[in-house]
C-alpha cells in the first residue's frame, strides 16, 4: 500500500511535469489536475485566476478548515525581442536564471496555438569561433533562443506567427532512477502537487479520513508571488503550503526527508501550527527536518499578505538544486505523505 501511494504520487508528478505551465500559462495543467480529482469522485472547481480548488471533505461542517496549497506553475520565459538575425531574446518568468539554462531545449508556444522548438544559447556559442566564450557573462542580454527553423531574419520568424509576449517553456528532462531519485526541472512544485493528488486518492479510497474540513488549492501564480492570495474557502483557519524543502549548505533538510519551515525570507511561520506539523511528523514516523529558508517565499505568505486571518505553515519534500535541474527522492515523497496523513486526521 505504501509503495502504491508513493508510485501514484510520482506518476502524477511525471504527468504534470510533461505539461508546459510557466506562471500565467497554466490552463492545460490545471485541466489535467481537475480531471484527476473528478475521476477520484470529488467536485473540483476552477477559480477566476485559473487555479483548481477542491473540498476533500464536503460532508463535514465547514468550520476550522485546513487549506493545503501547492502550485502548478513553473519558471519559464517570455519573448521580448526578435533580432535581425532571426534569434529570439527572452525575459524570465519567475526566478529563472540564464546561467543554468544554457544549452537547454525549449518550446515556444504562440498565441495562435503553434509550437516551435529551439535551444537557449549564448550568442556566438562556439568555443572554436568565439575567443570570449568562457568570459562572457550569461545574462538574458547575451543569450538567445536559436529556432529549429530555417530563419535568418526578424521577418522570417514573424512569418511563423512568433511574436513578443509568446511563452517560452524549458524542457524539464524528467527521469526517475531505479534507486528512487526523481530528477527534473520544476519539481518545485509539481512534486508536491503530485503528492496532494495522492493524498486526495487516499481520502477517496478511505485510507485517510480527515477529522476536519480539508481543501486543496492548486495555484497558478506562485512563482510570481500571488498564487495563494485569493480563493480561501469560508471557515478556513489554517493554511499550509506544500512546496519544496530547500537542500543545501547549513540546512538539515535533504531529498529523503520532509522539510518543515519555521521561517522564510518574509517572516516566521505560525509558531503553534509549525509545532503541530512537527508533532505530526513525529507521530507518523516521517523522516523530517526543521529549517529556516532565508531566500524563500510561499503561497501561504501570499495568503497572509492578502489579509486573510489564518495561521500559516510550510512543508515539502527536500529538493536539491532548486530553480535549476532539481532532484528529490521517493523517500521524501513518502515522508511528506506520512506527515500529511496524520496531520489531517488530528
Q: Which residues are catalytic?
A: 222
Closest CA to 183 of 255, 253, 241, 124: 255
DSSP structure string for 223-288: GGT-TTSS-PPTTEEEEEEE-PEEESTT----TTSEEEEEE-SS-BPPHHHHHHHHHHHHHHT--E
- The neighbour count for residue 84, using CB atoms within 10 Å, is 9
Closest CA to 259 of 289, 218, 222, 229: 289
DSSP structure string for 67-87: EEEEE--B-EEEEEEE-TTS-
Give the Cα-Cα-Cα angle 272, 279, 320 (nearest 5 degrees). 95
Give the Cα-Cα-Cα angle 175, 13, 108 (nearest 5 degrees). 75
Closest CA to 335 of 213, 179, 192: 192
Contact 304, 228 (CB under 8 A): no
Residue 19 CA to residue 209 CA, distance in Å, equals 31
What radius of gyration do the chain's Cα atoms show? 21
Residue 321 CA to residue 220 CA, distance in Å, equals 22
Contact 196, 218 (CB under 8 A): yes
Residue 7 CA to residue 195 CA, distance in Å, equals 10
Give phi and psi for 221, each to the nearest 5.
-140, 25
Q: Please tell me the number of Cα atoms within 13 Å of 185 on its side-chain side.
A: 24
Amino acid at each position: 500500500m505504501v509503495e502504491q501511494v508513493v508510485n501514484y504520487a510520482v506518476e502524477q508528478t511525471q504527468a504534470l511535469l510533461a505539461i508546459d505551465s510557466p506562471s500565467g500559462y497554466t490552463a492545460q495543467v490545471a485541466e489535467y489536475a481537475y480531471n484527476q480529482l473528478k475521476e477520484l469522485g470529488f467536485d473540483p472547481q476552477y477559480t477566476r485566476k485559473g487555479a483548481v480548488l477542491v473540498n476533500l471533505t464536503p460532508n463535514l461542517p465547514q468550520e476550522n478548515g485546513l487549506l493545503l496549497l501547492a502550485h502548478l506553475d513553473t519558471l519559464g520565459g517570455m519573448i521580448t525581442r526578435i533580432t535581425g538575425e532571426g534569434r529570439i531574446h527572452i525575459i524570465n518568468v519567475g526566478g529563472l536564471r540564464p546561467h543554468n539554462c544554457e544549452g537547454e531545449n525549449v518550446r515556444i508556444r504562440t498565441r495562435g496555438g503553434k509550437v516551435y522548438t529551439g535551444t537557449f544559447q549564448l550568442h556566438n556559442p562556439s568555443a572554436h569561433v568565439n575567443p570570449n566564450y568562457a568570459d562572457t557573462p550569461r545574462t538574458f542580454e547575451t543569450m538567445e533562443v536559436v529556432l529549429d527553423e530555417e530563419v535568418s531574419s526578424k521577418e522570417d520568424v514573424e512569418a511563423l506567427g512568433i511574436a513578443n509576449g509568446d511563452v517560452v517553456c524549458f524542457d524539464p528532462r524528467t527521469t526517475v532512477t531505479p534507486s528512487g531519485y526523481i530528477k527534473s526541472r520544476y519539481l518545485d512544485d509539481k512534486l508536491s502537487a503530485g503528492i496532494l493528488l495522492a493524498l486526495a486518492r487516499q481520502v477517496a479510497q478511505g485510507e485517510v479520513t480527515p477529522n476536519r474540513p480539508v481543501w486543496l488549492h492548486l495555484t497558478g501564480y506562485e512563482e510570481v508571488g500571488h498564487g495563494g492570495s485569493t480563493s480561501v474557502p469560508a471557515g478556513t483557519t489554517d493554511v499550509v503550503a506544500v512546496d519544496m524543502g530547500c537542500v543545501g549548505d547549513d540546512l538539515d533538510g535533504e531529498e529523503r526527508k520532509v522539510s518543515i519551515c519555521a521561517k522564510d525570507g518574509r517572516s516566521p511561520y505560525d509558531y503553534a501550527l509549525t509545532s503541530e506539523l512537527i508533532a505530526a511528523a513525529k507521530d507518523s514516523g516521517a523522516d523530517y527536518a526543521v529549517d529556516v529558508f532565508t531566500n524563500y517565499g510561499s503561497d501561504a505568505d501570499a495568503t497572509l499578505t492578502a489579509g486573510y486571518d489564518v495561521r500559516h505553515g510550510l512543508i515539502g519534500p527536500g529538493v536539491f538544486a532548486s530553480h535549476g535541474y532539481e532532484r528529490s527522492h521517493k523517500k521524501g515523497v513518502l515522508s511528506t505523505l506520512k506527515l500529511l496523513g496524520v496531520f489531517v486526521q488530528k
